[in-house]
Chain A
Amino acid sequence: EAGVVQSPRYKIIEKKQPVAFWCNPISGHNTLYWYLQNLGQGPELLIRYENEEAVDDSQLPKDRFSAERLKGVDSTLKIQPAELGDSAVYLCASSLGPTGELFFGEGSRLTVL
Chain B
Amino acid sequence: GENVEQHPSTLSVQEGDSAVIKCTYSDSASNYFPWYKQELGKGPQLIIDIRSNVGEKKDQRIAVTLNKTAKHFSLHITETQPEDSAVYFCAASRAGSSNTGKLIFGQGTTLQVKP
Contact = CB atoms under 8 A, between A and B. Distances in A.
Interface in A85-106: 91, 93, 95, 98-102, 104-106
Nearest to A9: B41
Contacts of A91: 43-44
Given A40-B108, A41-B107, A42-B91, A98 B43 contact: no
B46 interface: yes
Q: Interface SS of chain A: helix, strand, loop or mixed?
A: loop
A94 B104 CA distance: 16
Interface stretch (B14-22, B54-62, B71-79, B93-101): B93-101
A103 to B, nearest CB: 8
Interface in A65-113: 91, 93, 95, 98-102, 104-107
Interface in B68-115: 89, 91, 95, 97-100, 102-103, 105-108
Contacts of B98: 98-99
A16 B102 CA distance: 31
Contacts of A56: 102
Contacts of A101: 46
A18 interface: no
Contacts of A48: 102
Interface of A: 4, 40-45, 48, 56, 91, 93, 95, 98-102, 104-107
19 contacts: A41-B105, A41-B108, A42-B6, A42-B105, A43-B44, A43-B89, A43-B103, A44-B105, A45-B102, A45-B103, A95-B100, A98-B100, A99-B98, A99-B99, A101-B46, A102-B100, A104-B43, A104-B45, A106-B42
Interface of B: 4, 6, 41-46, 89, 91, 95, 97-100, 102-103, 105-108
